[in-house]
Amino acid sequence: MDNDLPLSHEDVAEIAAILEKSGYRELDLSTRRFHLRIAKSDVAGESLTQEWQWAGAAGEVAVQPTSAAVDPNAICSPLPGTFYHAPQPGAPAFAAPGDTVGPETVIGIVETMKLMNPVHAGRSGTIAEIVVPDGTLVAKGQPLFRLA
């Protein structure tokens, strides 16, 4: 870690302005800590771009867990996040085994990026099982409920 940030946004804007007026297409700057490319675009109507890459940050892309064979009776999470059974701690759960649900019935919520997203049953049926415990971090497409 260093005492000083490499370039301010004013610096980048200034380098971009110099590059724009020059005959050069792009500028590449590599140090031990970062790689910066400021480049002109070939496409009319586009401005220059700045692309930063930090040492050690170019790691492998996280593999999305996929449920191999999804149970046809499963209701899956529409997005990654934390799955909750009830609207708030201590409140009754949205749905319990034995409950009859319709496509629009809210049966849980998934909190992603601080937003509460309702989980709809998506079809009619009877809840057989809540597969995932309250407050669990779930992947997109992970089964949450099983219908009878």
Partner 1 sequence: MIRKLFVANRGEIALRVIRTAQKMGIATVLGASEADAASLPARMADDVAIVGPGPSAQSYLSVQRVVNAAVRSGCDAVHPGYGFLSENAAFASAVLAAGMRFVGPDIATLDGMGDKLAARALAVEAGLPVLPGGAAATRADVHTRAAQTGYPLLLKAVSGGGGKGMRRVDRAEDLDSALDMAQAEAQAAFGNAAVYVERFVAMGRHVEVQLLGDGANAIHLGTRDCSIQRRFQKLVEEAPAPAMPLAAREAVEQAAVRLARHLSYRGAGTAEFLVDATDFSFYFLELNARIQVEHPVTEAITGVDLVEQQLLVASGKPLSLTQAMVRPVGHAIEVRINAEDPDADFRPSPGRATRAAWPAGEGVRVDTHISTGGEVPPFYDSLMGKLIVHGQTREQAVERLNKALASLHIEGLPTTTPLHRRIVSDPRFIAGGVDTGFLNGLAQ
- What residues make contact with partner 1 under the rule CB under 8 A? 1-5, 8-9, 12-13, 15-17, 20, 33, 38, 41, 43, 45-54, 56-59, 61-62, 78-82, 84, 87-89, 91, 106, 109, 111-118, 137
What does the angle CA 135 – CA 76 – CA 66 come to, to the nearest 5 degrees?
95
For partner 1, which is the closer residue by CB, 35 or 146?
Answer: 35
For partner 1, which is the closer residue by CB, 1 or 68?
Answer: 1
For partner 1, which is the closer residue by CB, 47 or 69?
Answer: 47
CB of residue 93 to partner 1, shortest distance in Å: 12
CA distance 26 to 40: 6
For partner 1, which is the closer residue by CB, 111 or 129?
Answer: 111
Residue 19 half-sphere exposure toward CB, CA atoms < 13 A = 19
Q: Which residues are CB-neighbours of 101 under 8 A, at least 6 positions away? A: 95, 107, 121, 124, 125, 126, 127, 147
Q: Which of 42, 110, 47 is nearest to 75 (CA)?
A: 110
CB of residue 123 to partner 1, shortest distance in Å: 19
